Structure 1
Amino acid sequence: MTQRPESHDAAADDDVIQPINAEGVDEAAVESNRRLYGGWRWLLFGALAIAYSLFHLVSLNVYPLETWSFRIVHIAGALILGYGFYAGTRFAEHERERSAAWLGWLSYALLVPAGYALVRTWLMHQAMSDGAMRIAPEIEAWHFGYPLLLATVGGILLSWAYRQVRETLSPADLVLMVCSLAVAGYLLVMFNSPLRASTGTPFAPMGISYAAIAGSLLILELTRRVAGLALVVISVIFLAYVFAGPYLPGFLGYPGLSVGRFFSQVYTDAGILGPTTAVSSTYIILFIIFAAFLQASKVGDYFVNFAFAAAGRARGGPAKVSIFASGLMGMINGTSAGNVVSTGSLTIPLMKKVGYPARSAGAIEAAASTGGQIMPPIMGAGAFIMAEVTGIPYTEIAVAALIPAILYFLSIYCMVDFEAARKGMRGMRKEEIPQFRRLVKQVYLFAPIIILIVALFMGYSVIRAGTLATASAAVVSWLSPHKMGVRAILKALQLAGTMSIQIIAVCACAGLIVGVIALTGVGARFSSLLLGLAGVSQLLALFFAMCISILLGMGMPTTAAYAVAASVVAPGLISIGIEPLVAHFFVFYFAVVSAITPPVALASYAAAGISGDNAMGTSVASFKIGLAAFIVPFMFFYSPAMLMEGSWLQILRVGITATLGIVLLAAVVQAWFFGPVKAWQRLVMLVGALFMIYGGIYTDVAGLAIGAALFLMQRRLHGGGGGPSPASAAS
């Protein structure tokens, strides 16, 4: 990125003005615990990542596998890659910080039980192939289960203590990779035999439970490494509930499950291999590959430069650029925090430069990047899970998301615009932004996304449309300076393999929670609680559902947050008479905005790290800027037309009045409309905004009357309306 340096001398500025040129937006961030290999290790793990991506492309399009087998291999591959790339503790910066040699030898010693469990898996496969009906329990316990659990627990504990340089693989993690293979191998043997039908019964082989316990521990540990402790802590609480439930009072109590019965079922499609893994192994991995191909052809750089050219000259230009860029990048970036890092490193410094305080700059970027998760057609990964859970076609979900996404980004735009007007900020100069006419010549870079949308609405399956869009990204790159040859395609496949690790671990971990909910019936008891609240007030039930959705999502990636909320909260909303689409959108929105909700707001924290401001202050400010996202879900309930449910006349009326209401709400928050807004005017404006957001015909009329009166009053007082202050005009 090049830009003119900070200066307070206008004349000097004019001499050194250079246009913005976004570069490196597509570069993947390297986490602090991510290994950076060289030599043969780089070749080995690069080849593994490429093979992992190719496995999914071939299985999804050419040679499909049996469903459970496919998902088991999907998780096992992510575990092997994850333990290969991500360390369990921070790296040693100096030679003297490296762990003692005995820790390494102890780790290597654990390869013996891990390798033995893997060998026994092969021998059990041979026995079953030769006609054995089942394996003797003592063999499963002493020759598979106990060695596997010893190696898994020992490997995890040693990985926390073992420190090495960034370029080497820890022997403890090598043990965990072997354990991952042993778990997958045993489950493949048993689930491809008649014993598969015995899961969840007293007749289930205990080996399935041993494999499931080890597999759950491996998933939890990898999730800790790639996504932090929040999801792991919530998963452990749910697991503890399985065995503590019989001793709990009130609606939380239930009869209880034995260790064998629970774990023999949790690694099936009732839990870990259920809806979340179904989505991660199909739609999510496919769109990660699509995103990797777009990154390889530098589409992200183009998106950001296009946003600068389109919005950079408006007042507070860089803030509006962040809105456009984050909306575009959100289509190819799976997380709010990841979106902040990719676009915020460019837009936040520029926002500060034109007059935004560090806190506002970070908050605007966090709120805009969070909105990328609700932007059709891709909507992060949550939309795919919604389609899987509800059975509603993905195209319907994408269409339903259109008006709410427009309202959200309009709200942020108005917040930004009113703040820029209030503070007299300027836009960027013509010389500072890329030339629009030059960027228009490369508009063909949007073609893969357009092809994706067209293919979906022509009736192609999501998998076929995603594959077609991925192939088109490689073809379109030949029209750009970043042509994708064989080497670039292999690099994109390798990038996709490594990018997928986090989201697959998170989905598998969320599947663990979903399994607990399904097997203990806690979701049904929560539904009865909501039903009781709805008897008092439906608004109270919705408010309670909102709080639970946000609480479950705090500190968690969007995908996991929605998956858990969809299992716990959505069935309760449906039980009180809310349509499934409305109920799932309700929890989806609050799962998404948990990324900017204090006190644990991942997107806000990432933005604060770039802006240099206080993390908590930034999260409060981003909460204020994204306020519309906390109101829009209630509009779904009162006005289903917001989700395209109803006649075109209803949809048009609700869309227009809600838009005007959102504009008034932004004016209330920023205390600016066409000029400064007094306290009593803000109060009246808030009433008018809520009337129009509510969506009833009478409230719409009342809201429009209030809005028109305030509009005329502001126009008379402030004339041409909200123009820049004299200071800004001088610049």
Structure 2
Amino acid sequence: MSHKSDQDTAGLKDDAAPAPDVVVAEGVDEDVVEANRRVFSGWQWLLFAALAIAYSSFHLISLNVYPMETWSFRIVHITGALILGFGLYAGAHFAESESRTSPAWLTWFSYALLIPALYTLGQVFAMQQTLAGGAMRIDPQVETWHFGYPLMATTAVGIVISWVYRQARHRFNPADLVLMVCSLASAGYLLLVYNTPLRASTGTAFAPMGISWAAIAGSLLILELTRRVAGLALVVISVVFLTYVFAGPYLPGFLGYPGLSLQRFFSQVYTDAGILGPTTAVSSTYIILFIIFAAFLQASKVGDYFVNFAFAAAGRARGGPAKVAIFASGLMGMINGTSAGNVVSTGSLTIPLMKKVGYPGRSAGAIEAAASTGGQIMPPIMGAGAFIMAEITGIPYTEIALAAVIPAILYFASIYFMVDFEAAHKGMRGMHKDEIPLFSKLVKQVYLFAPIIILIVALFMGYSVIRAGTLATASAAVVSWISPNKMGVRAILTALQLAGTMAIQIIAVCACAGLIVGVISLTGVGARFSSLLLGLAGVSQLLALFFAMCISILLGMGMPTTAAYAVAASVVAPGLINIGIDPLVAHFFVFYFAVVSAITPPVALASYAAAGISGDNPMGTSVASFKIGLAAFIVPFMFFYSPAMLMEGSWMQILRVGVTATLGIVLLSGMVQAWFFGPLKAWQRVLMLVGALFMIYGGIYTDVAGLIIGAALVVMQRRLHRGREKATAA
């Protein structure tokens, strides 16, 4: 809905005439308009702006003032995202000119589809009157012939037409209007039936057939919206799982199972066993609330301040813009909950600056991708992962946020020293004093951090996540009143509109992930996977962990973090728990690998987004980001061998493990970059790797051995460094 086409406005002031208080970052908070998102004007813009504001306001009111019945609330939550999503995101590429738009007959055919779509919606109202008149259930013939078949046909044809219908970017597609009506009809029937005793019949032979028809249409609509906002990867995985439901009886070995009928499966998948389950529970409460919080921060330009603060703090260090990317991406990424989105928002600024001080395009893109991915593991918000983990495991959110502290430090320490050693190796400079904002000026606005501090304090004081999030959102508006970007009524409405738009992708992804979770729970494939891991653990627990790592990364490839973790948590985590691993350790293990799938070749969403900005080869960038984020592939194994890494143990154990693991990460970074205080020979790199692994392992004896190796390397490198300096001086 934004009138801007992209985020190219974010950038640099003219270097030729730097001002002493130069503002380096501008436009970081601008709404990024995706390639398939419509840009409306006039009454259409007003209409969808109003819908987005109403959608965000509905959640704030329902969560804080007038709560709804749980299933009804989640259905409305998904349906609102479907209506907004089909209105704002096109199903096909936009026409480059008026001459390339779709023919008139396709437009009229799309409008004609509205007749059966509106008929099914009318039938929902008729059925509501029937049940209100005292009927116990609806006639199956009416459900099938007057609701099910028309709804299914209209939905399927509308989706296919939307794939081929091309129009200008500012115009609305009538086929998408059909899909919006079908979304209402499907949700209307489910709301009607789920508020009667018939709700108890889901998953049985006595369930009304209309539930299955509404669930099939609803699932198709969710898959189509997911394709539009998140790409094909998650859709393909969902289709594979859905195929398994009906192909299972014909599969050999541990994958085989007796099978489910179409009616039994679909009458149950659109309940809290599937689509309305944990993923939607989290997206309809915590995620939507923190998206609204992030939108309020954006509307008050706090994102610009975060990036400028990072420039002032780290810009003058060697390789400064790369270190700025680490700090800025960590701050932004923990809030916005998407690695690729974080790359686009901060990378448009940091990547050109990194290239300016000497980083090759590939390294610049890789550093930004790795740093943006790390934002997903940065407490206290952790994108949305901490809330999903709390929902699935029942472990208090505060305990999860505390457990994430040391792993996050290790991850960002790894990227920092990777960047630092590369900058030293290549002789890169930092930014000049007149190229960055004055730290003394930015410190005067440090109060802009107040909303995040209030959020953290409220959570640890025992406030519920919803109350703490609402309080932080309100404080963002209040704090803006003493900043240069005051939020009045218009700015607040803009924030609510932005939140409604930002929420579409994550809600679609969570609903789609819920579909997969439903397949896993209803077919029992998770239990069979657990038995496979149990068999591997009988041979070697390390082998079982390695296999779990591969599956978590594979399931996460091409998927947003939230969906990647939700699916991995359903498939892999129960198996790890069954082989004796603590639930917190098991879930953090799969969460980390679901997150780093964004920088794992061959499908690395964050790396590909960074390559698009840096202009380098996407695959090369993904390999480079994999190398920079290498620590993230080792740290999860540390959870298993040293639970103190997740704050489980005495404070002395936690302190020892944290310090030695950080030193180990430094050695690992030096080994990868072949530089410590100077260039490293092959045998020194091998020795450094051994020392790093000893300290990362976490045992007392291995820590001592690692410290001895590290100290010897420091002494050796310092002597060589002094020798080189004397030779250079002579």
Alpha-carbon shift at residue 719 of structure 1 (Å): 2.8
Which residue in the other structure is 1:585 paired with?
Answer: 588
Match of 2:166 among 139, 163, 178: 163
- Distance in structure 2 (CA, Å) of the matches to 1:626 and 1:120: 55
Give the residue type in structure 1 aligned to 2:646: L
Matched, 1:703 2:706: yes
1:9 paired residue number: none
- Alignment of 1:473 with 2:476, yes or no, is yes
Task: Give the match for residue 418 of structure 2.
Answer: 415
Contact 1:2 1:19 (8 Å CA) reproduced: no
Q: Is the 8 A contact 1:2 1:20 kept in 2?
A: no
Distance, in Å, in 2 between the alignment partners of 1:584 and 1:719 is 47
Is structure 2 residue 232 aligned with structure 1 residue 229?
yes
Q: CA deviation at 1:96?
A: 1.1
Query: 1:19, CA displacement in angstroms?
Result: 3.5
Q: CA deviation at 1:720?
A: 9.8
Equivalence for 2:715: 712
Q: Map residues 57-68 of structure 1 onto 2, 5 A cutoff.
A: 57-68=60-71
Residue type matched to 1:549 in 2? Answer: S
Q: How does 1:25-36 map to 2 (within 5 A)?
A: 25-36=28-39
CA distance in 2, matches of 1:178, 1:100: 23
Which position in structure 1 is the counterpart of 2:525?
A: 522
Distance 1:43 1:646, change over 3 A: same
Supply the RMSD in Å over aligned alpha carbons.
1.6
The correspondence for 1:290, drawn from 267, 288, 293, is 293
Q: In the alignment, does 2:435 pair up with 1:432?
A: yes
State how far apart, in whole Å, the 2-side matches of 1:288 and 1:14 are. 38
Contact 1:4 1:17 in 2 (8 A): no
2:358 counterpart (333, 355, 359): 355
Shift of residue 105, structure 1, vs aligned partner: 1.1
Quick one: distance in 1 between partners of 2:580 and 2:705?
28
Residues 126-165 of structure 1 mapped to structure 2, 5 A cutoff: 126-165=129-168
Aligned equivalents of 2:694, 2:345: Cα separation in 1:
38
| 3-state SS of 2:336 partner | coil
Q: Is the Cα–Cα contact under 8 Å of residues 3 and 432 in structure 1 kept in the other structure?
A: no
In 2, the alpha carbon distance for the partners of 1:158 and 1:17 equals 57
Q: Does 1:569 align with 2:572?
A: yes
- Match for 2:391: what amino acid? E
How far the C-alpha of 1:332 sits from its partner, in A, is 2.0
- The residue type paired with residue 119 of structure 1 is G
Asked if the contact 2:11/2:348 (under 8 Å) is kept, the reply is no
Once the two structures are superposed, residues 629-658 of structure 1 have per-residue CA deviations (whole angstroms, 9 ceiling, x without a partner) of 000000000000000000101101100110
Match of residue 106 from structure 1: 109
The corresponding residue for 2:91 is: 88
Report the equivalent of 1:346. 349
Q: Report Cα offsets for 1:164-191 as digits up to 9, x if no partner.
A: 1111110100000000000110000000
Which amino acid in structure 1 is aligned with residue 378 of structure 2?
M
Q: In the alignment, what sits opposite 2:215?
A: 212
Residue 458 (structure 1) aligns with: 461
Assess if the C-alpha contact under 8 Å between 1:3 and 1:18 holds in 2. no
Name the residue aligned to 1:444: 447
Partner of 1:595: 598
Residues 532-578 of structure 1: CA deviation (Å, up to 9, x unaligned): 00000000000000000000000000000000000000000000000
Give the drift of 1:716: 1.2
Q: Alpha carbons of 1:41 and 1:2: their partners in 2 closer, same or farther (altered >3 Å)? A: closer
Instruction: Say whether residues 1:76 and 2:79 are aligned partners.
Output: yes
Distance of 2:188 and 2:516 partners within structure 1: 23
In 2, distance between residues paired with 1:16 and 1:23?
15
Q: How big is each residue's C-alpha offset from its partner over 1:239-292, in whole Å with a ceiling of 9 and x where there is no partner?
A: 000000000000000000000000000000000000000000000000000000
The amino acid of 1:717's aligned partner reads L
**TM-aligned CA deviation for residue 51 of structure 1:** 0.5
1:20 deviates by 4.8
Normalization by structure 2: what TM-score?
0.97
Q: C-alpha distance in 1, partners of 2:567/2:426?
A: 42
Match of 1:484 in 2: 487
The aligned counterpart of 2:557 is: 554
Asked if 1:687 corresponds to 2:690, the answer is yes
Q: Distance in 2 between matches of 1:719 and 1:281?
A: 60
Partner of 2:3 in structure 1? none
Partner of 2:675: 672
**Deviations along 1:648-690, whole A, 9 cap, x unmatched?**
0110110011011000000000000011111000001100100
In structure 2, how many angstroms separate the alpha carbons of the residues matched to 1:149 and 1:63?
Answer: 34
CA drift at 1:3? 3.9
Residue in 1 that maps onto 2:497: 494
Unaligned runs of 5+ in 2: 1-9
1:513–1:709 distance in 2 versus 1, CA, 3 Å: same
* Separation of aligned partners in 2, 1:597 and 1:568: 20
1:577-656 aligned at under 5 Å gives the runs: 577-656=580-659
For residues 432 and 88 of structure 1, what CA distance do their matches in structure 2 show?
43
Instruction: Check if 1:329 corresponds to 2:335.
Output: no
Q: Any conservation in 2 of the 1:386–1:584 contact (CA below 8 Å)?
A: yes
* Residue 126 (structure 2) aligns with: 123
C-alpha contact 1:297 1:473 (8 A) present in aligned 2: yes
Q: Contact 1:377/1:398 (CA < 8 Å) preserved in 2? A: yes
How far apart, in 2, do the equivalents of 1:550 and 1:320 lie? Answer: 27
| CA shift digits 1:682-719 (9 cap, x unpaired) | 00110010011011111111111111111111111113
Given that 1:315 and 1:417 are in contact with CA atoms closer than 8 Å, whether structure 2 keeps it comes out as yes
Aligned-partner Cα distance in 2 for 1:487–1:601: 38
Question: Could you tell me which amino acid in structure 2 is paired with residue 595 of structure 1?
Answer: A
Q: Structure 1: give runs of 5+ residues left out of the alignment.
A: 7-12
Q: 1:369 aligns with which of 364, 367, 372?
A: 372
The AA in structure 2 aligned to 1:355 is G
Query: What amino acid is aligned across from residue 259 of structure 2 in structure 1?
Result: G
Distance in 1 (CA, whole Å) between partners of 2:266 and 2:178 is 22
User: Which of these residues, 542, 547, 550, is aligned with residue 544 of structure 1?
Assistant: 547
Q: Which structure 2 residues correspond to residues 275-286 of structure 1 after superposition, within 5 A?
A: 275-286=278-289
Q: What's the CA shift string for 1:412-470, capped at 9, x where partnerless?
A: 00000000000011111111100001100100100000000000000000000000000
Partners of 2:693 and 2:28 in 1: CA distance? 39
Q: Of the candidates 297, 304, 308, which is equivalent to residue 305 of structure 1?
A: 308
CA contact (8 A) 2:421 2:675 kept: yes
Q: TM-score, normalised by structure 1?
A: 0.97
Number of equivalenced pairs: 720
After superposing the two structures, state which structure 1 stretch, 267-276 or 165-174, moved more: 165-174
Give the Cα–Cα distance (whole angstroms) in 1 for the partners of residues 139 and 17 of structure 2: 82
User: Does residue 382 of structure 1 match 2:385?
Assistant: yes
1:34-53 paired onto structure 2 within 5 Å: 34-53=37-56
What is the distance in 2 between the residues matched to 1:585 and 1:364? 23
Q: Which has the higher mean CA deviation after the structures are superposed, 441-450 or 100-109?
A: 100-109
- Distance, in Å, in 2 between the alignment partners of 1:422 and 1:55 is 54
Structure 1 runs (4+) deviating above 3 angstroms are 1-6, 13-20
